[in-house]
Chain A
Amino acid sequence: MTNFRLLPLSKPLNKAVLTLATVMVLIASACSKKTPIPPPPPPAPGPASSSNGSSSSGRPVVAEFSVEPSSIERGQSAILRWNVTGSTNVAIDKGIGTVPANGNRRLTPADTTTYTLTASGAGGDTTATATVTVTNPAPPPPPARGNAGARGTLESRVQSDLRDALYDYDSNNIRDDARAALTGDADALKRILADFPNASINVEGHCDERGSAEYNLGLGDRRATSARDFLVQLGIPADRLKTISYGKERPVCTESDETCWQRNRRAHFSVGQ
């Protein structure tokens, strides 16, 4: 009984859309391969250790005692390196103990720590220190809105994924822009109804303020019905869609101008009971 006809997309057009989409995906992936190589890291800072002593004195020489990186977040690790010559015994405090004259050790200190290396030789001892600064990690970022895992509530999905279909004055004909909106809505509805198998969706019919309230209740029902029928033809199960006419009782805006009137002449979606 509705006075509009559904024009299905022609097959060649479908193919063209598909091809275009494929090309765009290819271009996108090619681009990602050509992402510029990040610049190399800056040169490592000079040894953080201080070495004192001289070969002439016969005391061991600490050529290197450093920690890399010198600053870490708690839970991360740093590498302690050392290189000592002319020693008979090399030891590092903080529970590390005697070590070879040349070596490294991966450490995961909980707090900022200063390590002291003691190299013993014939001429006496040489000491060196190296400090690793431990910072508290920044708090993790909050979860993204509309947590991707749950893909949003039914309410939020209906609100964000479905567009109103707009109508001409005193008409329930599906215009071209409404046809486009409802075609997109059909795809979104299929996903929503798959994700929420028990959900039913209200198709609300609304009118602008100008006709009588009584007539608009009937007109709103026709708008809701025309939108519902369109969606059913695109494969949405009719038993998941319920029409409700609100006439002009629930406007989205109340200005008396065409912009507002047009916003109110609509089929709108809400979560059914």
Chain B
Amino acid sequence: MMRKTKSNTGLAILTLLLAATVFAQDIVTWINGAGGKPALAVIDFRGSGSQPFMGAFNSTLFNDLQGSALFDMKAKSMFPLNNPQRPEDLRPEDGGQGFALSDWAGAPVNASHLVFGYTAAQNGALVLYGNVFDTRQQNQQSAQLFSQRYAGSLDEAGAIHVAHEFANDIILKFGGAASLLGSRIYYVSRRSDNTSEIVVMDWDGGNQKQLTRLNSLSIMPAVSPDGSRVAFTSFAKGTPRIMMIDTMTGRALPFYNQEASLNANASFTPDGKQIYFASTAGGLAQIYAAAINGQGFRRVSHRDAVESEPKVNPKNPNLLLFDGGPGHEQIYQMNSDGVGVERITNGEGEAANPAWNQDGQHFAFSWTRGYAKGDFNIFVMDIGSRQFVQLTHSEGRNENPSWAPDGRHLVFASTRTGKSQIYTMLADGTQVKPLTTQGDNRSPVWGVK
């Protein structure tokens, strides 16, 4: 009777999810982005008094736009010999020379939009004049999507900075989610057999900064939705306990740990007001919830199985995923009142590290399906259809995926070159980039700042 009630609740949840996504795309389509991507032709910008920095500028602009996965980036080898640098350079009547938008709209370029402009040294600063025009519009006025002026320092860093800002504005213009600019990645840096510290770096791997100095094991960080705090698991007082720190200063914030041999792997609710975590306060490791200062904790689940990594759905605070038994690790879903437990992964291999996409519909996770025990790969699954796609293919262990604020990039840890390092990639598994190369770095989470 009990069992029937549970599965009915599970069915109800499933039905709700399916109803919410009647027009849900096929997962492969979702991952690859909807059809009809804008086709961008991005010219090589030149500089007046700033030419030495234009190599860095052009590669940054191109990589940022390509990395957004919003665009079909057109090959520069197909471009006309001439290109406009200013809107007034456009001459619709002079077709075939590269100065008419129609030269870019048609074969062989086939671009829907032209990105052009130039930089100049002006009063000791580097100034960028950037333009985006729709090549398919006859009227130059309606073709102009936007033209914008940016300023940076007159050096390579300044050139890279204005390229990031320009790319960010283009991405936003085309409906991209928040860009990666300013976002940061928190992770665990192993220092010795018995010590690890929480470290933060920029989204591109730069500017690494150690946040904790506890000289013990600090593991499993989670970042709050506003990026202001990080919760992690600390062995500083012997048993694993949750610690909360300010992400700017690294200072400890008050957090009450209930009496238990283990309080660990916390995650924040989407409103940032609560945390869910695993605790043995009731005997075995099970799911609990509490306010972000640890007060007012309540037990959520009551199963006789190891349970960890509770993750609340960003669109539905009553639904959470977690990693647990019985038997071997799989991904389960559960209502926030502990009922409606249902296994989501199909029982093959071992599945762990569920991470919701911002859309509340898809989640990334680690799975050994098709490989030996311990050989995890990153997968993405649609919670409604249970369709899944494998993103990494057995290059070492690939674990702990976490979504970027843009909902299109993932950060994860991989042992593909030996020791564990941090990588980013697009949600389709392409554009894999190493962010760390030294030491032993694990468990990344991507914060908005």
Contact = CB atoms under 8 A, between A and B. Distances in A.
A118 to B, nearest CB: 80
A215 B324 contact: yes
A169 interface: yes
Given A214-B352, A245-B261, A209 B308 contact: no
A218 B374 contact: no
A211 B284 contact: no
B262 A214 contact: no
A194 interface: no
A217 interface: yes
A114 B278 CA distance: 87
Given A222-B285, A273-B238, A212 B280 contact: no
Contacts of B327: 170
Contact of A212 (B196, B278, B350): B350
Nearest to B443: A213
A211 B374 contact: yes
Interface string B191-228: 00110100000000000000000000101100000000
B265 A217 contact: yes
Contacts of B285: 217-218, 221-222
A245 B240 contact: yes
Task: Give the contact-size bracket for chain A.
Answer: 20 to 34
Nearest to B376: A212
A212 B306 contact: no
Nearest to A272: B238
B238 A210 contact: no
A209 B261 CA distance: 21
B373 A221 contact: no
A76 to B, nearest CB: 55
Contacts, number: 104
A245 B307 CA distance: 14
A151 interface: no
Interface in A206-237: 209-215, 217-219, 221-222, 224-225
B352 A249 contact: no
Contacts of B219: 213, 249
Contact of B264 (A1, A217, A256): A217
A214 B261 contact: no
B276 to A, nearest CB: 13
A105 interface: no
Contacts of B374: 209-211, 256
B329 A217 contact: no
Contacts of A242: 238-239, 261
A250 interface: yes
Nearest to A3: B304
B439 interface: no
A244 B261 contact: yes
B323 A212 contact: yes
B240 A217 contact: yes
Interface of A: 1, 169-170, 202, 209-215, 217-219, 221-222, 224-225, 242-246, 249-250, 256, 273
Contacts of A219: 306
B265 A210 contact: no
A92 to B, nearest CB: 74
Given A169-B373, A218-B284, A218-B308, A211 B261 contact: no
B194 A250 contact: yes
A242 B239 CA distance: 9
A212 B307 CA distance: 12
B366 interface: yes
A211 B327 CA distance: 12
The 9 closest A-B pairs by CB, nearest first: A210-B374, A218-B285, A212-B352, A218-B306, A214-B308, A210-B373, A214-B265, A215-B329, A214-B309
Q: Which has the most chain A C-beta neighbours within 10 Å: B217, B220, B235, B306? A: B306
Interface in B302-350: 304, 306-309, 323-325, 327-329, 350
A212 to B, nearest CB: 3
B103 interface: no
A3 to B, nearest CB: 8
Given A1-B304, A222-B285, A222-B306, A214 B373 contact: no
B399 interface: yes
A244 B278 contact: no
Contacts of B304: 1
A249 B265 contact: no
B85 interface: no
B372 to A, nearest CB: 8
Contacts of A213: 219-220, 442-443
Contact of A1 (B193, B284, B399): B284
Contacts of A212: 308-309, 323, 329, 350, 352-353, 366, 376, 399
Contact of B193 (A222, A250, A273): A250
Given A209-B374, A217-B308, 13 more contacts: A1-B304, A202-B238, A211-B373, A212-B329, A213-B442, A217-B262, A217-B285, A221-B285, A225-B283, A244-B240, A249-B196, A249-B217, A250-B193
